[in-house]
Chains A and B, each alone.
Chain A
Amino acid sequence: MKVGGRLKALWEYRGFVLGMVARDFRGRYLGSALGASWAVLNPLAQILIYTLIFSQVMQARLPNTRDPLAYSLYLCAGLLTWNYFVEVLLRSQTVFLDQANLLKKVSFPRVTLPSYVFLSASVNFSIIWALFLALLLVTGRWPGWALVALVPLLLIQQVLAVGLGLILGVTNVFFRDVAQAVGVGLQFWFWLTPIVYPVSAVPEVVRNLMAWNPLYPLVASYQSVIVEHRWPVWSDLWPVCVMATVIVGVSETVFRHLAGPMVDEL
């Protein structure tokens, strides 16, 4: 099936995709007394830990700033978006195996599965990000118009995550080693991205290496928007755009050729 056909099938099955997202969300809090409030309480706790613990208890400071909250915001800007990226990646990677029973027994467009996983992760991210923005507003650190830059930034990140997730998800069905390798790889990736430390803290050699890390310019842009209220340096984002496009192209080919044979391996 070509891309067009797949998008059409996706549109026809939008009810199923949205139903799966809703089921995912509700299923998590089903039977709990507080219900959907947990969806807010959980990320709220996360944000509070990052902000209170680092700014008040550990007195962590960013270089060249006096703002006691600067480091916390820096951390949140990188970590929340990184978590979103990883959630899409890891869940796409296992979605075909998780839904093996359905894939083997029922005929439906397979593209609906990665789509629902992506939307589901996006719902979670929206909640925590909304809380984070509320915190910025309350503490008087609202970045203003620079926030608009988040739209293209997140878009690039999503394209990257979905494309990569699709490749991993399909290949993982054939080689379960993929999941293991990704687990190891993500740890390196996380520490090779300036999320918990400022980029000035790493030696020149490592910084040159980071130029190859597609997430580095993205994370750096989030941080500059949130912490310094400055627009991103758009020219730094060209390489990651190209990389995201290539990955989406590869994922398209992988999916077209392997989505069918994949079912026989489940």
Chain B
Amino acid sequence: MSGELAVSGLGKSYRRYARPWHRLCEWAAGGRLVWHETFWALRGITFSVASGESVGIIGLNGAGKSTLLKILTGTTQPTEGQVQLGGRVAALLELGMGFHPDFSGRQNVMMAGQLMGLPVREIARLMPEIEAFAEIGEYIDQPIRTYSTGMGVRLAFSVATAARPEVLIVDETLSVGDAYFQHKCIRRIKEFQEAGTTILFVSHDPTAVKTLCGRALLLDGGRLIQDGPPDLVLDHYNALIAKREANQEILQAEAASGRMTTRSGTFEARIAAIDLLDADGRPARAFTVGERARIRARVEFTSAVVAPTVGILIRDRVGNDVFGTNSFHVAPIEGTYEPGEEMTVDFDIQLNLGVGSYTLTAAVHSDATHLASNYDWWDKVIGFRVLPGPEPPFVGSAWLPVRLRVERHARMVTSGQGGGGERA
């Protein structure tokens, strides 16, 4: 057993019941009744870690990091998928679990060790080392309640790391007291690393991930969205934070000031609502370059309308048209809509736009353009922003996916072939 880790198709869902007795009814019905909402905290996670590798796990709050760790440590069971672990897993997530304040340090060490699954004889053998590492001296035989916070944490860390695990999970929020002991702890983790322990490091701190890990995983919304070198993944992570902030900012500004827009038309058909959604269907106003988005228009009819056309137009900051299309060109809407009827139209697009601010305009009209008969033209309904994503830096208002191929030609034709290479 040497600490490989393989996770495939891992998912964890939780059931939400509006009332406790809803579950009772479900149980009583023996599965013929579904009365809960399923909430996926984690889904479709697949990755593997080689023995001795150090991998950082990053993600915003609620991204699913803790759920993943809980599954890996075995405290919770996955709803779907598999985890294969080669060896003993130790987790430095919350130290001092199972410590009882009224018992002595030594007694608590025995208990904590047994809780980790270590045999009594093994703990007894490790005891001198645990004592020495914790540096709490005579206090080892005093009740834990007489300890300072630092002493308790030191002892807990010493037990947790007394035996080298094959897989070690470290939470960055772990506080182990003063700077001196912190260094000691990091040294111990590095020793494990050198001895071949696989390390999973959960962190928000980019520099810590870069120094400790050779690879990073980025979780967002319960999904593994990137797996690669820490530099690249951290850039993506920073973009994610920037995106979320921009999103909040624009949505808040929108809510505060209302939409400053102009509208014109006969209103035989009327745009009741326009929304800009992200890939998960949540309202969004900030996207990364190349991200998928959904523009949803809800149209109400006040008169009978034959074959209406719904259109969208994206303009840049200074008002230049960047991209526009309508249903007439993409997929014509047929039939007659009666007064009182409603329809919803979704435009799924990939925002291959340059970094910057944009506005969205929507319209309902007849035929190919709004010139024939314009029911409702809603100018600049929504503003949104495009932020840099994981792609290499570029300038301009469009992102054109690019591949680079370099071929080197030797100057002397007679000297034979030159070197060549390809980069994506």
| Chain A residues at the B interface, C-beta cutoff of 8 Å | 12-13, 15-16, 19-20, 23, 26-27, 30-31, 101-108, 174-177, 260-261, 263-264
Residue numbers in A under 8 Å from B188 (CB-CB): none
Given B14, B23, B97, B117, which contacts A13 in the complex, CB threshold below 8 Å?
Answer: B117
Residue numbers in A under 8 Å from B14 (CB-CB): 264
Residue of B nearest to A263 (CB): B76
Q: A101–B73 Cα gap in the complex (Å)?
A: 15
Q: A12–B102 Cα gap in the complex (Å)?
A: 26
Given B75, B94, B120, which contacts A15 in the complex, CB threshold below 8 Å?
Answer: B120
Would you list 5 pairs from A and B whose C-beta atoms are within 8 A, ordered by A residue?
A: A16-B111, A16-B114, A23-B111, A102-B98, A107-B74
Given contacts A12-B117, A30-B102, A30-B103, 18 further A-B contacts (CB under 8 A): A13-B117, A15-B110, A15-B114, A16-B111, A16-B114, A23-B107, A27-B103, A102-B97, A103-B75, A105-B93, A106-B97, A107-B73, A107-B74, A108-B117, A175-B20, A175-B24, A263-B77, A264-B76
Q: A16–B103 Cα gap in the complex (Å)?
A: 15
The minimal Cβ–Cβ distance linking A259 to chain B, given in whole angstroms, is: 9
- A174 touching B120, Cβ below 8 Å: no
Q: A177–B107 Cα gap in the complex (Å)?
A: 37
Q: A103–B23 Cα gap in the complex (Å)?
A: 22
Q: A186–B37 Cα gap in the complex (Å)?
A: 36
The minimal Cβ–Cβ distance linking A171 to chain B, given in whole angstroms, is: 9
Residue numbers in B under 8 Å from A102 (CB-CB): 97-98, 115
Q: A261–B94 Cα gap in the complex (Å)?
A: 22
- B117 touching A105, Cβ below 8 Å: no
Residue of B nearest to A171 (CB): B27
The minimal Cβ–Cβ distance linking A220 to chain B, given in whole angstroms, is: 36
Q: Is B119 an interface residue (CB 8 A)?
A: yes
Residue numbers in B under 8 Å from A13 (CB-CB): 114, 117
Residue numbers in A under 8 Å from B103 (CB-CB): 23, 26-27, 30
Given A101, A108, A260, A261, which contacts B115 in the complex, CB threshold below 8 Å?
Answer: A108
Residue of B nearest to A105 (CB): B97
- A105 touching B110, Cβ below 8 Å: no
- B97 touching A101, Cβ below 8 Å: yes
Residue numbers in B under 8 Å from A263 (CB-CB): 75-77
Residue numbers in B under 8 Å from A20 (CB-CB): 111
Residue of B nearest to A20 (CB): B111
Residue numbers in B under 8 Å from A106 (CB-CB): 75, 97-98, 115
Asked whether A260 and B77 contact (CB < 8 A) given A16-B115, A101-B97, A105-B93, the answer is: yes
Residue numbers in B under 8 Å from A176 (CB-CB): 20
The 3 closest A-B pairs by CB, nearest first: A107-B74, A16-B114, A260-B77
Residue of A nearest to B74 (CB): A107
Pick the most buried of B14, B73, B107, B115: most chain A CB atoms within 10 A of its CB. B115
